[in-house]
Amino acid sequence: AWDPEWSQAVRAPLRTDRRRLHSRLAAAASTLMAEPRVDSRNLAAVGFCFGGMAALDCARAGVAAGSLKAIVSFHGILDDGPLADSVDLSIGPRIVMLHGDQDPFVSPEALTACLEQLREAGAPWELHCYGGGRHGF
């Protein structure tokens, strides 16, 4: 069964230290791209909740740059996490965010900050917002 206290404790260090999260994402992508059955030129990052935030951070950190073609965040923790200096989101992956407008884990301010960051960076993105939808829809 899911233990919210344990889950929060495990995620907290990666949520507060996004560079640490970025290095783990890069290591995971490198491992995946080394797999001979993987087309390392055409990758996608898909995540739910914390994983949705991590998928967005793949773009922000430049993980698998040039190979990462798409990002999908399902009820992800949307925010304006750190953007690596050398990352150009305007040529990065297409980003799709699926979000419930009543998600208690994403404040209206955090959503606005996320969208502003993507706009300013010139990222190709879409937001599908479900009226009345809570976290996990």
pLDDT tens digit sequence for 76-111: 999 999 999 889 999 999 999 999 999 999 999 999
Residues contacting residue 93 through CB under 8 Å, at least 6 positions apart:
44, 45, 58, 59, 68, 69, 70, 71, 124
Q: Does residue 115 carry a pLDDT above 70?
A: yes
Q: Does residue 1 carry a pLDDT above 70?
A: no
CA distance 133 to 137: 5
**Beta carbons within 10 angstroms of residue 97's beta carbon:** 24
CA distance 131 to 35: 40
Residues contacting residue 88 through CB under 8 Å, at least 6 positions apart:
121, 122
Mean pLDDT of the chain, nearest integer? 96
* Pair 64, 92: CB distance under 8 Å: no
Banded model confidence at residue 43, pLDDT cuts 50, 70, 90: very high
Can you count the helices (H) and strands (E) in the chain? 4, 4
Q: Does residue 64 carry a pLDDT above 70?
A: yes
